[in-house]
């Protein structure tokens, strides 16, 4: 693991795993069949620091932040870009079970918030929790395996036009001494 800048393993629940890692300024994915240890594809290049610098300016880089299997042998990969631009600080990409990368390097810039967490639904779509920087509250967005956002805007967990619900308070409990 020496020399690698983060790595993740995502299984498909059957017979393969996909390993995702960053080395030498690039994020790679490699799918391996478990029984024999044979390579199905890879390494496939998902994101490079060079592409990030081209898109955001010299010195910009991507840190591998996470990977999650899509349940069908593919994997979702997301990277956090630095320095922060206040928006578009996460790039997201999907690598299929055959090694096809959905979006061109460096991936899809998530413009309406920074990915804080990611899970996958039964269809293999990424469901992401978005936060700051890039938005002032939490929201959820879903992405298809081609990288397109499924919803026109992220869904917020509460109506931003109304204040958050007031915390529940309880009256203090009085204790008195008695026979029992």
Q: How confident is the model at residue 94 (pLDDT cuts 50, 70, 90)?
A: very high
Query: CA nearest 141: which of 161, 125, 159?
Result: 125
The pLDDT of residue 169: 63
pLDDT at 141: 94
pLDDT at 173: 58
In this predicted structure, what is the pLDDT of residue 86?
85
Model pLDDT, residue 111: 85
Q: Give the pTM.
A: 0.83
CA distances in angstroms from 177 to 13, 62, 170, 171, 173, listed in the order given = 60, 64, 22, 19, 13
Which residue, 8, 7, 12, is CA-closest to 124? 12
């Amino acid at each position: 693991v020496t020399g690698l800048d983060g790595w993740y393993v995502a299984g498909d629940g059957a017979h393969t795993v996909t390993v995702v890692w960053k080395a030498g300024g690039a994020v790679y994915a490699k799918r391996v069949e478990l029984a024999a240890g044979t390579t199905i594809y890879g390494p496939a290049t998902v994101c490079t620091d060079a592409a990030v610098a081209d898109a955001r300016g010299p010195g910009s880089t991507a840190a591998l932040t996470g990977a999650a299997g899509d349940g069908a042998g593919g994997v979702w990969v997301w990277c956090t870009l630095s320095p922060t631009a206040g928006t578009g600080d996460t790039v997201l990409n999907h690598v299929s079970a055959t090694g096809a990368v959905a979006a061109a390097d460096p991936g899809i810039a998530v413009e309406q918030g920074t990915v804080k967490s990611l899970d996958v639904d039964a269809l293999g779509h990424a469901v992401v929790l978005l936060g700051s920087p890039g938005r002032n509250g939490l929201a959820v967005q879903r992405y298809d395996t081609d990288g397109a956002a499924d919803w026109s805007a992220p869904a917020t967990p509460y109506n931003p036009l109304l204040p958050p619900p007031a915390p529940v308070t309880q009256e203090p409990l009085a204790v008195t001494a008695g026979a029992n």
